[in-house]
Amino acid sequence: MDNQGQDNLTRRDDKVWLRTYEELGLTYDIDMPSDDTSLIDIFEQSFTEHKGKTAFVCMGSTLSFEEVDLYSKQVAAYLQSLGLTKGDKVAVMMPNILQLPVAVIGVLRAGLTLVNVNPLYTSRELEHQLTDSDAKVLILVENFAKTYQDIGHKVVDHVMITSMGDFMGTLKGFMVNTVVRHVKKMVPDYKIDKSVDFKKALKKVSVNKYQRPTNIGLDDIAVLQYTGGTTGVAKGAMLTHRNLVANLVQCNTFLGSAFDEFDHSGEQPVIMTALPLYHIFSFTVCGMFGLYRGCIGLLVPNPRDLDSLIKAYKENPPSFFPAVNTLFNALANNEEFKSLDHSKLKMSMGGGMAVVSATAEKWRQVTGNIISQGYGLSETAPVATANPSNSATFSGNIGVPMPATDVAILDEAGNEVELGERGEISVRGPQVMKGYWQREDATAEVMTPDGFFRTGDIGIMDEKGYVTIVDRKKNMILVSGFNVYPNEVEEVMAGHPKILECGVIGVEDDNSGEVPKIFVVCQDPSLTKDDVLAYAKEHLTGYKRPRQVQFIDELPKSNVGKILHKDLRTLEEQENSKA
């Protein structure tokens, strides 16, 4: 959208959600630290306050807060010894293993900028992110070293390589690495000239050489969080120390009461960290917030390996479980998971994609826990709205604006629509990114002159300030002039007892322009297309009903479990080409 000529935008004077804050006894204002503060101060405070406690658990091995303090300082000292200076970028490419938080915190403690990288990237995607960010260093696990090698030329100045078991102790680490390399054959052969062993690098430079940065403040960039890769060229959202510290304070102000009882009992809460930490939802809500509150981060390297996930859950029953709908659904339908003791689970938080009511109800029946849904994006560091942690029922909405956050529902011209009307969810607050790295044009497209970030999501706000997300604008289906939102259709159709999962896209139609097509993963193989169409006819108005049905074994999803509608459209194109 062109932002020029928007000086007369209209905004509501009243923040209707403040009445909800008052009813719930919540605080809207937050106390931010001084401008010369940074995440480094947050880390150091946690290391001191939670000394003697466990910080992370992975595959039965642990790291204490003291160990994370020491090892991250060693990483920082090594990076500083390379001659890196403030603003230089360091990319970290790992699954959820013990080395990941150590590397991430080490980068930030060195006064450098972190670039989170998806370890399942292709060589092309990795090259783009490293080149675009101008990363000087790449820290990665050996399983994905060949991905960097296959780029075919040097992209970064320094490569540090770790192995899965490196922080698991001598004997266990050796066994894990042996299994990963030689039994499961998860490490393709690679050769990267002048690469450095991560574990050895920590011992190469004395921790006494570490120089704590004195020139890092809230307005400095902490993280480049890449986003938008499924819709075009991935862009780096510039998240400052202010953005991330603010979101920690906001989450603690709004949701922290769920953790207060642990402070009184002395028991350490466990955060189930199954979502990958390179993803902003997990990065902030699991990784950073867990350190901030002194929790145990239960790291799961592969959330799709349900057997390993359930084993970790059983051995370390979590108190807080952030996840996406697909993971909640998979576990709620797993017989072994159903049999576990869920008494310690105090809060389940859905994000990353809409949680459908059928999944929420299954989860409640299995765990006794109500899923509290929130909402955010990479550009909002990420939490922009959330439901209170003590919600008695699953609402289906994404809650009210977080503390110190304004949400406006805007029309195409940038004006605020009336309550109850649909428009683009737009967010303003201290957690909203500085902009896209080296993309002033892209930044201008999503930021209004008065500081609102236009999310690209369609939603409505009610009279109490609760927001319901309808869908992404790009996924909207136009049927004879009527807007159909796939999330709404998926929500309804997922209620069919024989449907495990479903995804909806628009396909061309001679009569109405487009019609909805549903891709179905069966819970019960006896399900027929006629059953699906009959259920749609019973529960959806005419233009919203799927007109075409295709059964598939598995929905295409991102690494954090989002349904990839783009890939469903590609599948449809492939089917059409066969006809």
pLDDT digits (tens, 9 = 90+) for 368-385: 999 999 999 999 999 999
Domains, the chain, ordered by start: 63-217 (3.40.50.980), 476-578 (3.30.300.30)
Percentage of residues in the chain having pLDDT higher than 90: 81
Contact 564, 556 (CB under 8 A): yes
pLDDT for the residue 2: 45
Query: What are 262-266's contacts with CB under 8 Å, separation 24+?
Result: 262/319
82: closest CA among 115, 112, 126? 112
pLDDT of residue 92: 98
Q: What is the pLDDT of residue 6?
A: 47
Tokens encoding 522: 């069966």
Position 579 scores a pLDDT of: 66
Residue 506's pLDDT band, with cuts at 50, 70 and 90, is very high
pLDDT at 232 over 70: no
Work out the average pLDDT over 61-82: 98
Weakest mean pLDDT among 250-259, 260-269, 317-326, 422-431? 260-269
pTM: 0.88
How far is residue 409's CA from residue 288's CA, in Å, rounded to a whole number? 29
Mean pLDDT of the chain: 93
Q: Is the backbone of residue 417 left (phi > 0), alpha (psi -120 to 50) or beta? A: beta
Helix or strand holding residue 323 (H, E): strand 320-323
Predicted confidence at residue 231, as pLDDT, reads: 44
pLDDT value of residue 546:
97
Number of H helices, E strands in the chain: 20, 26
Mean local confidence (pLDDT), 124-152 = 96
Strand 54-58 vs strand 61-64: parallel, antiparallel, or unpaired? Answer: antiparallel
Of 138-152, 350-364, 393-407, 415-429, least confident by mean pLDDT is 350-364
CA distance 196 to 199: 9
Residue 473 confidence (pLDDT): 75
- Predicted confidence band of residue 356 (pLDDT cuts 50, 70, 90): confident
